[in-house]
Amino acid sequence: MKTTRRRFVKTVGAGALGAGIAPGLVLGRAPAVERGGGYDVAVVGAGVFGSWIAHELQRSGRRVVLIDGYGPGNARSSSGGQTRVIRMGYGDQEIYSRWSLRSLELWKELFRRSGRPGFFQQSGVLWMARERDPLTVQTLETLERLGVRHERLLRPELEARWPQIDFGPITWAILEPESGFLMAFHAVQAVARRAQRLGGEYLGARVAPPAAAGGRLGEVTTERGEKVRAGDFVFACGPWLAKLFPELLADRFFTTRQEVFYLGPPPGDERFQVGAIPVWADFAEEIYGLPDFKGRGFKVAPDRHGPPIDPDTAERTVTAETATRVLDYAGRRFPPLKGAPIVGGEVCQYTNTSNGDFLIDRHPEMDNVWLVGGGSGHGFKHGPAIGEYVAARIEDGGAVDPRFALASKATVQKRTVY
Ligand SMILES: Cc1cc2nc3c(=O)[nH]c(=O)nc-3n(C[C@H](O)[C@H](O)[C@H](O)COP(=O)(O)OP(=O)(O)OC[C@H]3O[C@@H](n4cnc5c(N)ncnc54)[C@H](O)[C@@H]3O)c2cc1C
- Give the mutation target among 56, 76, 79 for probing the ligand 1 site: most ligand atoms within 8 A of CB: 79
Kind and range of the H or E run holding 96: helix 94-113
**Nearest 5°: phi and psi at 281?**
-140, 135
CA of 67 to the centre of ligand 1 (A): 14
pLDDT tens digits for range 328-337: 999 999 999 9
Mean pLDDT of 296-302: 98
Q: Is the C-beta atom of 383 inside 6 A of ligand 1? A: no
- Give the mutation target among 237, 244, 249 for probing the ligand 1 site: most ligand atoms within 8 A of CB: 237
Compute CA distances 292 → 87, 110, 175, 263, 380, whole Å: 18, 24, 18, 9, 20
Q: Which of 138-176 are b and which e, b meaning 16 or more Cβ less than 10 Å from the residue's Cβ? A: bbbebbeeeebebeebeeeebeebbebbeeeebebbbbb
Q: Is the C-beta atom of 46 inside 6 A of ligand 1? A: yes
Residue 10 pLDDT greater than 80, yes or no = no
Residue 194 pLDDT greater than 50, yes or no = yes
**Measured in whole angstroms, how far is the alpha carbon of residue 297 from the centre of its chain?**
20
Q: Is the C-beta atom of 47 inside 6 A of ligand 1? A: yes
pLDDT tens digits for range 128-157: 999 989 999 999 999 999 999 999 999 999
| CA 350 to ligand 1: nearest atom | 53
Task: Tell me the whole-structure pTM to 2 decimals.
Answer: 0.94
Q: Is the C-beta atom of 69 inside 6 A of ligand 1? A: yes
Q: What is the DSSP string of 15-49?
A: TTTT-PPPTT-EEBSSHHHHTSS-EEEEEE--SHH
Residue 347: what residue type?
A: V
Query: 383 burial class (0-12, 13-18, 19+ CB within 10 angstroms)?
Result: buried
| CA 351 to ligand 1: nearest atom | 19
For position 133, what pLDDT does the model report?
Answer: 94
For position 234, what pLDDT does the model report?
Answer: 98
Q: Is the C-beta atom of 79 inside 6 A of ligand 1? A: yes
CA of 201 to the centre of ligand 1 (A): 21
Identify the band that residue 310 occupies on the pLDDT scale cut at 50, 70 and 90.
very high
For position 27, what pLDDT does the model report?
Answer: 58
For position 24, what pLDDT does the model report?
Answer: 58
Residue 246 pLDDT greater than 50, yes or no = yes
Mean pLDDT of 78-91: 97
- What sign results for the dihedral spanned by CA atoms 122, 110, 380, 76? positive
CA of 175 to the centre of ligand 1 (A): 27
Whole-angstrom distance, CA of residue 25 vs CA of residue 129: 43
| Ligand 1 atom 41 nearest Cα | 207
| Ligand 1 atom 4 nearest Cα | 377
Mean pLDDT of 158-170: 98
pLDDT tens digits for range 403-413: 999 999 999 99
Mean pLDDT of 103-123: 98
Whole-angstrom distance, CA of residue 97 vs CA of residue 279: 17
pLDDT tens digits for range 198-212: 999 999 999 999 987
Residue 81 pLDDT greater than 60, yes or no = yes
Higher pLDDT pick, 262 / 31: 262
| CA 238 to ligand 1: nearest atom | 27
**Nearest 5°: phi and psi at 163?**
-65, -15
Identify the band that residue 214 occupies on the pLDDT scale cut at 50, 70 and 90.
confident
Q: Which of 7-21, 195-209, 366-380 has the lowest mean pLDDT?
A: 7-21
For position 212, what pLDDT does the model report?
Answer: 73
Q: Is the C-beta atom of 121 inside 6 A of ligand 1? A: no
Q: Return the closest-CA partner of residue 418 out of 169, 129, 49.
A: 129
Mean pLDDT of 282-296: 97
CA of 132 to the centre of ligand 1 (A): 33
Higher pLDDT pick, 15 / 79: 79
For position 26, what pLDDT does the model report?
Answer: 58
Mean pLDDT of 289-293: 98
Mean pLDDT of 395-417: 95
Q: Return the closest-CA partner of residue 240 out of 20, 8, 47, 28.
A: 47
Return the biggest CA–CA distance within the chain: 70
For position 30, what pLDDT does the model report?
Answer: 47
Mean pLDDT of 87-93: 98
| Ligand 1 atom 31 nearest Cα | 47
CA of 71 to the centre of ligand 1 (A): 12
For position 8, what pLDDT does the model report?
Answer: 28
| CA 181 to ligand 1: nearest atom | 8
Compute CA distances 20 → 13, 71, 293, 372, whole Å: 7, 10, 18, 25
For position 1, what pLDDT does the model report?
Answer: 31
pLDDT tens digits for range 16-53: 222 334 445 655 544 544 444 699 999 999 999 999 99
Instruction: Kindly give the interhelix angle for 383-396 and 48-59, rounded to the nearest 10 degrees.
Output: 50
Mean pLDDT of 303-311: 97
| Ligand 1 atom 5 nearest Cα | 84
Radius of gyration of the chain (CA): 21
For position 28, what pLDDT does the model report?
Answer: 55
